[in-house]
Structure 1
Amino acid sequence: MDQYSKRPRSQAWEHFTVLHGESKVRCRICSQRLTFAGNTSSMLRHLRAKHPSSSALCTLGSQHTGPVPSGKQREVDEAVLNMIIKDLQPFSIVEDEGFRAFVESLDPSCIIPTSKALKNMVHEKYQEAKRKTVGELEEVKFVSLTADMWTSVNMDVCLGMTCHYITEKSELDTALLGVKKLSQTHRAEDIKEAKTAMLSDWGLSGKVNCLVTHNAANMIAYADLLQVRHVPCFAHTLNSLVKKAMAQTDGLQGIRHRTRQIVGLLKASTTAQERLSNMQDQMGMQKMKLVQEVEARWSSTFLMLQRIHQLREPVGAVLATLKTDITPLSSAEYDTVKYCLSVLAPFFHAATELSEEKRVSASKVIPIITMIQHNLTEKCALNHNQVASVLSSNLQRCLNVHYGGAESVNVLALATLLDPRFKTIAFGNPQHAQQAERSLIAECASLLPQSGPPHSLKGSSLQQLKMETSTDETPGPSATSSGKDSLWELLDSSVTEAQKVHSSTADAAAEVMRYLNSPYLPRTGDPLDFWRKHSAIYPHLFTLARKYLSMPASSVPCSHIFSKAGEIMCQKRNRLSPSTLEKILFLNKNL
């Protein structure tokens, strides 16, 4: 018997006809076709949305306890939409049998929106959220950008860009500007075209303070094309320099190789894992698992060495019971691991802080570098292990290569100076701190009212002065008087303007000195809260703080966006359009 020949239970079928072979139904009132997925939810939704005044709804009373109120239905739609966005669920979940049965058990009268309706709702919600963010960005004078690229499961190269700014309420906020598909070459010109379109779309042209990305050549070239200062991602650079220093330390490389083999052997065998667990019990130790390093992240190497050093006794006992050619680490090698871990610890703590904080300001770059250099110097003086000493020297050299001039980078220096937790005390070189003070005073003075830069008499040629003071060959009394006035006009105007500049510079210097001499904020304090409370006391510095403290230390926020993009654009959802992906990511970030 045909599955549709038997009269369905729902009375919604009185207003729809099944189109055999098409998996669709047609409304008998307006002839609109709807996709049929084995239930009547889309039909009921259509009747309520398109024919609310018809008698169709009256016939549904016998099926449900009563029609769902429009306000309640909006709440249901919003809840399902928020679940899709927050949990990154596919739209098709609303058509899954288990999900529908779950909702039916909660409220039989509930009408679940279709996947097509959800896509439309995502579009509407995105447009609403975007209008709100654009309105907020209109009030912002300065923004900082982070960018990154990602390859999807379809091998499409996508460019993502996030915007960081401080709101009128002195709160740090982030917005996803877009995720754009690039050509396979993804040259700097292609990146520029995509990013310029994003900046124009969001009304940010002329407001960009800096671009924070990894050190890829196309990103650096793009920053040059856009004439925006490029700031290397601190987290990415830190990861690269530590990996390079470890690779240059021969004694450590051999230990790493053997440790990887030991960890791989013990993690691959269930018998070995069970023996390791039992051995920890017998030794009265807390149960811990071995960690295998990931080549891309040096911090995983640190954790691998740290864990095998903690479990050196049970690991050695288990290896003795296994038939393997892998030689356990010796006592001297474990000592080397201990000293190397001590040298690497400051870098690990810095990487942990960068990853744990929701937003890390660029004001922390110089202080972290200063503290790492201080720790390396102290540990090098106390370290008597040869391998650890070589590692320490390699780290210091790599750190100087990448960040030896960090205190001279104007944007980083001003960000540090404007952070009330650090000010000048975080600088390792006092001369760099003084230079940063002068730059801050000059930029603060530029915000004060003045008529322009002073004219210099040295810049005026004799011929120019003659032209400015020239009169008729036979001047009359009035002309002589006029010529007398014009003789001193240039000097008098220059003196007046110089006084204005001097006054604005003095006022700026006074404001900067008052701020620098004020008490330091505790390191765990919130610098934006400080500026919120002191905006009236330091009005011009407050403007500069909003400019420089919005700059992130790394492009990690953009990397997090692509981590979520990988969860969304999976094998089951590889036909999702870039536009829909962009909207879901934006709402997920801002919901």
Structure 2
Amino acid sequence: MPSRHYIVEKAIPQMHKEVRKCIAEHVESANTLSFTTDIWSSDHCPLSFLSLTAHWIGPDFTPKRAVLHARDFRSSHTADAITNAMQEMLREWTIDTKKVHVILRDNAANMKKAMDQLGVASLGCFAHTLQLIVHDGLLSQRAVSDAVANERKIVGHSKHSPKAYSALEDLKEELNIEPKRLQQDVQTRWSSTKYMIDSLIHSKRALQTYASEGSSNLPATLTGNQWGLLEKTAAVLKPFQELTTEVSASSATAADVIPSVRVLTRFLSNQSEAHLGIQTMKATLLGAVRIRFSHVESEPLYAVATLLDPRFFTNADNLEHAKEAVTAEVVKMEEELKKTSDEAVSQPAKKIPRREGASTSSSLGSIFDEILEESSAAAAGPSEQQITPGALVQVESYLSEAPLDCKNSPFHYWRDNQAQLPILAATAAKFLCAPCTIVESERLFSTASIIIDEHRSRLTADHAEMLIFLKKNLHIMLGLQKGESVEMGESVEIGE
């Protein structure tokens, strides 16, 4: 058996070197890179890590990502310290800041200032902003916040009392209720509050029966009015939950932000009798969405990405602004491509048409349909006299089509049409490589929390970074899809 010294000092560093070399080749071949970054501190040892995850579009228009660093970050979390650390990490991979499209960060002031000092474009995490909006909404109406507080006490009691937990499970079995544990929420994750409400509503009959027994000893009970408020609150928060799930997917891009904001705004603006009793919370949510996302439609990084996603168009009011931004980017891309190719840009060939189909099956599907119909009418193609030569023909031809079905992948569309729309496809690859959240960095730190636990609290920062790097990137060198692993018994040889 190889010794511990061999594994730590030779095998892991050699494997890290080989994987790093493979990742460096991928990063160097990418024309444009976007990044996500975040800071994490361990609960088991005095270590903090600053992450850097790269995102880009491959030649076959497949989204790619790789963890470049989970670096030990010992200094104070000031903007200057973050800027210096980011510069050093980019320098290690010989990445020029001109190659950086955008960096996704959290909404902290130090991170925003650091990106400004670095001289790169940056965007706040969409999911983090949704967290702030829902948190404000839950606290805005006293009746709702009181009901949630009582619910939290009930769930906590069932978790800390084996007797109460067993009694509830027995009642669910007697009442033929599907077994489902009550879930405790976490203050920093609004979605956990939604899951807690759903689990309580699912066990409503069992809880009411249990509360009616004299020996229940529940620390709080819910009135009929509070049960109604919780059910209506769950209905209002459902779109937020669906959007959070969608934007947290690995395929989500910056193009998902504007449509999501438009759908949320319209959903919260609609008056419904089903939401009577929680108007204050609903109005607060609507106001928070409008204030915190007031800039998204005027932000070129979002507007251009949305217009280059064949599933979406921006709203009619800002369509011209977005078209101007796309046109400017396409002209810039045309000039860059001419520097690397002597071939002149000609009229585009016949494109593969966008496939139409049924809208998404989520609760927001009808609202998506309304917005897309309005936007499609506003995006009608111009007359032949208005068409200009070169790259602009590709823009007008692309915008003259109806939006793609929301279930289809924008990457598949551009993969099929990049030969016919080369300049527009290159621009799409630049803007669609940007995610809209820092979920990948948070998933990275979930891995870090498993590697650095109470039994491995003396693990050094360098060894921890090597293990994190291999865990997140080894599948790239092995040619596996993310999530696949080497089967037991397979041999993996690193190096010669």
Question: What's the offset of the Cα at 1:504?
Answer: 11
Task: Tell me which amino acid in the other structure corresponds to 1:551.
Answer: A
Partner of 1:363: 255
Q: Mind listing any 5+ residue stretches in structure 2 that lack a counterpart? A: 339-385, 475-496
| Identity rate, percent | 27
Residues 82-97 of structure 1 aligned to structure 2 (within 5 Å): none
Question: What's the offset of the Cα at 1:520?
Answer: 3.0
Residue pair 2:184, 2:196 contacting (<8 A) in 1 also: yes
Do structure 1's residue 254 and structure 2's residue 146 form an aligned pair? yes
Q: Give the alignment's Cα RMSD to 1 decimal.
A: 2.0
Residue pair 1:166, 1:172 contacting (<8 A) in 2 also: yes
Q: 1:282/1:508 Cα in 2 relative to 1: closer, same or farther (>3 Å)?
A: same
Residue pair 2:247, 2:253 contacting (<8 A) in 1 also: no
Do structure 1's residue 435 and structure 2's residue 326 form an aligned pair? no
Question: What's the offset of the Cα at 1:362?
Answer: 1.4
Partner of 1:376: 268
CA deviation map 1:338-387 (0-9, x unaligned): 112111111011122234x2342111111111122222223x3434522x
Partner of 2:132: 240
Do structure 1's residue 227 and structure 2's residue 119 form an aligned pair? yes
Partner of 2:102: 210
Say which SS state the counterpart of residue 178 (structure 1) adopts.
Answer: strand
Question: What's the offset of the Cα at 1:506?
Answer: 4.3
Partner of 1:570: 453
Inter-partner Cα distance in structure 1 for 2:454 and 2:79: 30
Question: What's the offset of the Cα at 1:411?
Answer: 0.4
> Among residues 351, 375, 391, which one is paired with 2:244 in the alignment?
351
Partner of 1:404: 294
Partner of 2:28: 138
Inter-partner Cα distance in structure 1 for 2:32 and 2:333: 14
Partner of 1:42: none
Residue pair 1:241, 1:399 contacting (<8 A) in 2 also: yes
CA deviation map 1:298-338 (0-9, x unaligned): 11111112222222221011122225374421112211111
Partner of 2:91: 200
Do structure 1's residue 162 and structure 2's residue 46 form an aligned pair? no
Inter-partner Cα distance in structure 1 for 2:401 and 2:440: 33
Do structure 1's residue 558 and structure 2's residue 441 form an aligned pair? yes
Partner of 1:542: 425
Inter-partner Cα distance in structure 1 for 2:299 and 2:245: 24
Greater relative contact order (Cα 8 A, min sep 6): structure 1 or 2? 2
Residue pair 1:336, 1:385 contacting (<8 A) in 2 also: no
Do structure 1's residue 525 and structure 2's residue 408 form an aligned pair? yes
Q: With structure 1 as the length reference, what TM-score do the two structures score? A: 0.69
Residue pair 2:247, 2:256 contacting (<8 A) in 1 also: no
Inter-partner Cα distance in structure 2 for 1:237 and 1:400: 12
Q: With structure 2 as the length reference, what TM-score do the two structures score? A: 0.81
CA deviation map 1:142-177 (0-9, x unaligned): 111111101122222221111111122322111111
> Among residues 118, 129, 145, which one is paired with 2:7 in the alignment?
118
Q: Mind listing any 5+ residue stretches in structure 1 that lack a counterpart? A: 1-111, 453-502
CA deviation map 1:428-472 (0-9, x unaligned): x3121221111111211223359x9xxxxxxxxxxxxxxxxxxxx
Inter-partner Cα distance in structure 2 for 1:180 and 1:368: 33
Partner of 2:358: none
Question: What's the offset of the Cα at 1:583?
Answer: 1.7
Inter-partner Cα distance in structure 1 for 2:298 and 2:389: 24
Task: Tell me which amino acid in the other structure corresponds to 1:346.
Answer: P
Task: Tell me which amino acid in the other structure corresponds to 2:280.
Answer: V
Inter-partner Cα distance in structure 1 for 2:179 and 2:391: 60
Question: What's the offset of the Cα at 1:238?
Answer: 0.7
Inter-partner Cα distance in structure 2 for 1:243 and 1:286: 30
Say which SS state the counterpart of residue 102 (structure 2) adopts.
Answer: strand
> Among residues 167, 179, 187, which one is paired with 2:70 in the alignment?
179
Task: Tell me which amino acid in the other structure corresponds to 1:390.
Answer: T
Do structure 1's residue 284 and structure 2's residue 189 form an aligned pair? no
Q: 1:384/1:448 Cα in 2 relative to 1: closer, same or farther (>3 Å)?
A: closer
CA deviation map 1:483-502 (0-9, x unaligned): xxxxxxxxxxxxxxxxxxxx
